[in-house]
Amino acid sequence: MKRDGFSAEGLRDSMRSSAAGRLALGALSAVYSAAVAGRRGLYASGLRKARRLPVPVVCFGNISSGGTGKTSTVVTVAMELARAGRRPAVLLRGYKRRVPPRTVTVLAKGRPLSLDESGDEALMLYRLLEPAGVPVVVSSDRFASGSLAASQLGADILLMDDGFQHFAVRRDADIVLVNATAPFSSDRVLPAGDLREPASGLARAKAVVITHCEQVTQDSIERLRGEIRAAAPKAEIVESLHAPEAFIDPVTAEKVDLNVLKGRKAVSLCGIGDPASFEETLKKMRIELSQIWRYPDHHPFSLDDLGAAQQTRGGLPLITTYKDFARFPQGWQQVLPGGVLLLSVKIVFLLDGWKRLMRIVASAGEPESR
């Protein structure tokens, strides 16, 4: 296992090992909680005005940091809306891009694509949505990006990716994703824990999607449902799992059968919010991971990073994610000559969860029946 560069998690783990460190983390969490509550209170009281965009807005967000499978959910919902004749656009903040954060960058058919301007998440998201003609608009100013999507791109519904704690834009529905492997009830607010706000914030959600149900027991899911119901009594609760769909050869863009590595050794490489879920998925596919390379979320891979993996993988296949591959630098093929596969996953909703979720999304902006 390898971690490269500064790691906030490493610093936090170090601080947790001493009483003074734990006290400092607790104090910082209190300050963070007060700041979040204060900002939310400004909008709730009307002292700061949340602006409404001209078309319905559905927000997909988290109550905790780390991966929840949000991207897979947004892609699935956007594709379904497009198939139904709607004109969705996805709004993304854009992390670690090399332009001022309020810059509005449009990823759409006929427009040039730039990783520096869009960021890795946005570029990956657009590549997944491109076949359906769904644009992605990137900016920390969600009102500006949403206005552009509606007026210039013809969007009739906006999907805000990761904006549950963004109060400056009014939403017609908030959908929160919770990772079944990381329940929130015993967690603390950042930086002592991983919560972006206290669990009581779930009460704002119209729906809560429990993700990665395939990695926990049914008893664990039932306990989590109870915790969610206590925090958000009016929310729809939907269960989902992530299932491998295929491997993708990044050189040819062709699909490769999932069983090609069954019972064989391989190397994994990722820099995502929830690396354990990715690695556990590979293990359940009966792939023996002889090396596990982990980097911080959104890590900008260098040729040296890839070269280090190449030197030690001993000719074994290297498996990574779509999101990570979007950050591979130019010239990666010379450093990793062959044997690279991208794992493509799909989200599967249990029981009638998909119908209930899409009913909420499709009806966003309509008057609620009494």
Q: What is the mean pLDDT of each run of 10 residues along the chain (370 residues)?
A: 54 85 91 91 92 97 85 93 98 89 95 86 87 96 98 98 94 96 82 90 96 92 95 96 91 90 96 89 95 90 95 96 87 93 93 96 80
Is 112 inside a domain boundary? yes
Query: Residue 204: what are its φ and ψ, rounded to 5°?
Result: -80, -15
SS3 325: helix
Domain with 208 in it? 57-242+348-362
Closest CA relative to residue 100, chosen from 126, 127, 61, 138? 138
Is 102 inside a domain boundary? yes
Whether residues 66 and 206 fall in one domain: yes
Burial of 350 (0-12, 13-18, 19+ CB in 10 A): middle
Whether residues 151 and 300 fall in one domain: no
In angstroms, rounded to a whole number, what is the distance separating the alpha carbons of residues 276 and 256?
Answer: 23
- Of how many residues is the chain composed? 370
Whether residues 73 and 116 fall in one domain: yes
What b/e readout covers 193-220, taking b as 16+ CB neighbours within 10 angstroms? bbbbbbbebbebbbbbbbbbbbbbeeee
Is 18 inside a domain boundary? no
Is 19 inside a domain boundary? no
* Residue-level pLDDT at 4: 44
Whether residues 278 and 299 fall in one domain: yes
Is 166 inside a domain boundary? yes
- In the chain, the DSSP E strands lie at 57-62, 88-92, 105-107, 136-138, 157-161, 173-179, 207-211, 236-248, 255-256, 265-270, 288-294, 318-321, 340-349
Whether residues 109 and 209 fall in one domain: yes
SS3 347: strand
Closest CA relative to residue 345, chosen from 322, 319, 318, 317? 322
* Residue-level pLDDT at 3: 43
* Residue-level pLDDT at 228: 96
* Residue-level pLDDT at 312: 95
**Residue 134, CB half-sphere, CA atoms under 13 Å: how many?**
32
Burial of 163 (0-12, 13-18, 19+ CB in 10 A): buried
Q: Which residues contact 332 (CB under 8 A, 6 or more apart)?
A: 301, 303, 306
* Residue-level pLDDT at 249: 93
Secondary structure letter of residue 259 according to DSSP: G
Whether residues 279 and 233 fall in one domain: no
* Residue-level pLDDT at 370: 44
pLDDT by residue (tens digit) across 227-261?
999 999 999 999 999 899 999 999 887 889 999 99
Q: What CATH code is carried by the domain that includes residue 302? A: 3.40.50
The tally of domains found in the chain comes to 2
**Residue 35, CB half-sphere, CA atoms under 13 Å: how many?**
10
Number of H helices, E strands in the chain: 12, 13
Query: Residue 310: what are its φ and ψ, rounded to 5°?
Result: -65, -40
Whether residues 223 and 261 fall in one domain: no
Structure-token match 């400004």, residue found? 42
Whether residues 262 and 201 fall in one domain: no
In angstroms, rounded to a whole number, what is the distance separating the alpha carbons of residues 132 and 231?
Answer: 36
Whether residues 196 and 175 fall in one domain: yes
Whether residues 313 and 206 fall in one domain: no
* Residue-level pLDDT at 7: 60
Is 47 inside a domain boundary? no
Percent of the chain predicted with pLDDT > 70: 97
Is 23 inside a domain boundary? no
pLDDT by residue (tens digit) across 169-188?
999 999 999 999 887 877 88
Query: Residue 301: what are its φ and ψ, rounded to 5°?
Result: -65, 140
Whether residues 163 and 278 fall in one domain: no
Whether residues 105 and 198 fall in one domain: yes
